[in-house]
Amino acid sequence: MIASSDSTLVARSLRTGPRDTDTKHRLLTAEATDEESTLDEERAKKSGGGGRVKVRGTLRKWTSGTSGIPLLSKIRAKIASSTYTSWYKANLKPKDVNKILDLSKQQNWEYSLGYLRYWRLRGGGYEKLAAADFLIVATGAGFSADSSLPVYADIAKVEVYEKMGVEYQDLCDPYMLEQDEELFYGFWGSCTNSYRDTEHHRGYQILRKWRDIIRSKDSANSDSSQDEKRTAFRAAFDRLRKCEALPANLSVDLVTNDPFFVYTSNVDAHFHRDFDKKEVYELHGSVETWQCAGDVETGAREPCEKLWKLPAGYRFDLDVVAMRAPGGAPTTCPSCGGKGRPNVLMFHDRQWIANIDEEDGYIAWESVMELMLQDDPSLNLVVLEIGCGLRVPSVRRETEMVVADVIEGCGRPQATLIRINPDIPECDNPVILANGRFLSIPTKGLEALEGIDQELANLRKSV
């Protein structure tokens, strides 16, 4: 007999096939880079008398008494931008305006602009995170771009490729391995070498710190409290397993019991530098993991069900002029001796081997988390989405689906979606919007994380 609170999760967990199946077999590694959003640069006009600043419908009532204090025109234009006006009008407080005026008076323009952007964060981003009991971090290409990594489309924009008449979708296609092996390995070797050489940005460490804070929340350094959390997680896991709502033969020991999970479409493997493998799901694979290519040309031979890791110190012998590289032992299937390829979903990819262990771990963790939220109305989930575009919308769909499922399954608004994206910050999910559980932060990922982290630090100091 399945408890009523479990029945929703059974239906949730037993969906036929993987999520977004129609989307997955498009290229899911090429998310649009989240560049700085283009704002309306219309200048706010100064009114006569005393040099008072008149900002379009936003700061008027507060700046009218600040005669003689100049504001940087760029700040005025940002505030006046149609992208921001409605939010600022509803949320700005006089003390925030005074802060900007003080900073501009000191001619501290850069900090003024930064503080202006963080008004948006003060609208609830840090408060929501401070109250979170569970945190899902979902990232796309915009998050990696903050490490100065180009998306694949930009990597392919090099002279030799243009002369050959090949484009990104040609290079990122398993058929290229048969057509031109060295060109295929040159492209993926360039990606892999670059990812390994690049120092990932500070945002990863900020997220790790937040994970640790949520992990120890309300524990007061009590081991018994941590034990209680683990016991509750296992109990929920067992309930779901008994009603067959979890992947078959999945052990609870293979699923993280931390209240934190990373769901990413990025293939650079940078999250594994700071997080345990049980709390990361790379839904499109990773260049660090390789697989047998099988018979790519005819499909007559399926790839061996073998995945392997590239050696830690391995570098592709890349000819950076011709953008070609030979294969070698690390790129050869250890089972059949055939050609290997990155375990990354590509264009027209019928041979990709999905990482079922990671997928099962994520599905199980998410299902347990939802059941725990149903059991305890005081618990809250925050889904923090960073740098996920519409070019490949699989991550955005997932984050909205999770938050809407929690709201509907619990019958209460116990989940919030925070979307950090300078270009496409909107959400049109009716369940999330009707319950007021969406916060948009229209800026780049690292900038937003640093701003929220500072506010969280200030909040902890004030407690």
- CATH number of residue 331's parent domain: 3.30.1600
Mean of pLDDT values over 311-331 = 95
> In this predicted structure, what is the pLDDT of residue 28?
30
Q: Say if residue 104 is in the same domain as residue 134.
A: no
Q: Say if residue 371 is in the same domain as residue 448.
A: yes
Q: Say if residue 235 is in the same domain as residue 294.
A: no
How do strand 340-344 and strand 381-386 relate by DSSP bridges?
unpaired
In this prediction the pTM is: 0.76
Q: Say if residue 310 is in the same domain as residue 392.
A: no
> In this predicted structure, what is the pLDDT of residue 98?
54
Residue 187 is assigned to a structural domain of this protein: yes
Closest residue by Cα to residue 355 from 254, 257, 259: 254
Residue 42 is assigned to a structural domain of this protein: no
> In this predicted structure, what is the pLDDT of residue 186?
97
Q: Say if residue 141 is in the same domain as residue 245.
A: yes
Question: Does pLDDT of 174 surpass 90?
Answer: yes
Residue of 202 and 153 predicted with greater confidence: 202
CB 438 within 8 A of CB 427: yes
Q: Provide the number of structural domains found in the chain.
A: 3
SS3 (DSSP) at 100: helix
> In this predicted structure, what is the pLDDT of residue 396?
96
Residue 416 is assigned to a structural domain of this protein: yes
Q: Say if residue 373 is in the same domain as residue 453.
A: yes
CB 167 within 8 A of CB 161: yes
pLDDT tens digits, one per residue of 218-277: 554 455 667 888 899 999 999 999 999 998 889 999 999 999 999 999 999 999 999 999
Closest residue by Cα to residue 34 from 167, 125, 206, 151: 151
CA 204 to CA 305: how far, in whole Å?
32
Residue 243 is assigned to a structural domain of this protein: yes
Residue 313 is assigned to a structural domain of this protein: yes
Residue of 8 and 337 predicted with greater confidence: 337
Q: Say if residue 330 is in the same domain as residue 218.
A: no
Structure confidence at residue 463 as a pLDDT band (50, 70, 90): low
Last residue of a domain, one of 344, 365, 394: 344
**Structure tokens given for 420:** 């950090």
Residue 297 is assigned to a structural domain of this protein: yes
Residue 350 is assigned to a structural domain of this protein: no
pLDDT tens digits, one per residue of 309-320: 999 999 999 999
Q: Say if residue 113 is in the same domain as residue 216.
A: no
> In this predicted structure, what is the pLDDT of residue 301?
75
Residue 51 is assigned to a structural domain of this protein: no
Structure confidence at residue 194 as a pLDDT band (50, 70, 90): very high
Q: Say if residue 370 is in the same domain as residue 313.
A: no
Q: Say if residue 243 is in the same domain as residue 256.
A: yes
Mean of pLDDT values over 121-141 = 82
Least confident of 65-79, 210-224, 309-323: 65-79
Question: Does pLDDT of 37 surpass 90?
Answer: no
**DSSP for 330-359, written as a single string:** GGB-TTT--BEEEEE--TT-SS----HHHH
pLDDT tens digits, one per residue of 447-461: 889 988 888 888 777
Q: Say if residue 130 is in the same domain as residue 276.
A: yes
Instruction: For residue 95, give its domain range.
Output: 60-122
Q: Say if residue 168 is in the same domain as residue 215.
A: no
pLDDT tens digits, one per residue of 362-413: 999 999 999 999 999 999 999 999 999 888 789 999 999 999 999 999 999 9
φ and ψ at residue 305, rounded to 5 degrees: -80, 60
Question: Does pLDDT of 56 surpass 60?
Answer: no
Question: Does pLDDT of 361 surpass 60?
Answer: yes
Question: Does pLDDT of 85 surpass 60?
Answer: no
> In this predicted structure, what is the pLDDT of residue 223?
58
